[in-house]
Structures are given as C-alpha cells and as structure tokens.
C-alpha cells in the first residue's frame, strides 16, 4: 500500500531545524566525511536501512568524501512520512560518522 503524500505545509514543518532541504519532490542531505573509505562505509549502512524499509534513496558519492542522499516516494508522487522516518534514521547513522 502506498502511503499518502504529505502537503507542502507538512513537509515544511518536518524540515524545520533539520539537515535536510527540499528540492522539488525530494528531500536532500549532503554529508562531508573524512575520506573516501568513510563515504563508502556510510553508503553501505544507508543501503542496509533502505533495504529494511524496502524504500531506496538516490545515493551519490562525489568528490572524494561527499555523499548526497535524496529521498522521495515515487509511487506516492512526492514525499511521505516514510521519507521522513528514513531521514531520521539516516541522521542518527550520520552522527556516528561525525568527528
């Protein structure tokens, strides 16, 4: 079952004070890591979380130490509560990589 799409107001409220920004129908977060190995380790852990949700973000490693995560729910045609739940899980994971 596809979750309901959030309204613009609901999305704006969930983004307040977060590390995520809205870009169209997606929320995006850029993460700077110490090195390429950490970037790959983060991506591997993000993939594990995504598999547990059966909902997969777009993931980009760029530069040698930057990761961009983008979330949207394609079936819902925009952002849902699932995207923000996953974003919170990713935030907790990213904190483990902070130095």
Do the Cβ atoms of 27 and 58 come closer than 8 Å? no
Residues 6+ apart with CB under 8 A from 78: 5, 6, 25, 72
**Three-class SS of residue 81?**
helix
Mean pLDDT of 33-59: 97
User: How large a percentage of the chain has pLDDT more than 70?
Assistant: 99
Residues 6+ apart with CB under 8 A from 38: 65, 97
Token pair for 72: 């949207």
Mean pLDDT of 22-44: 97
| pTM, entire model | 0.94
Token pair for 79: 């952002």
Q: Which domains occur in the chain, in start order?
A: 8-97 (3.30.1360.20)
């Amino acid at each position: 079952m596809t979750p309901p799409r959030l309204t613009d107001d609901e999305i704006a409220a969930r983004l307040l004070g977060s590390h995520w920004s809205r870009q169209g129908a997606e929320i995006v977060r850029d993460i700077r890591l110490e090195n390429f190995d950490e970037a790959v380790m983060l991506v591997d852990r993000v993939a594990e979380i995504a598999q547990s949700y059966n909902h997969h973000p777009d993931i980009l490693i760029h530069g040698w130490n930057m990761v961009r995560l983008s979330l949207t729910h394609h079936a819902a045609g925009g952002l849902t509560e699932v995207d923000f739940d996953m974003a919170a899980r990713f935030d907790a994971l990213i904190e483990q990589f902070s130095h």
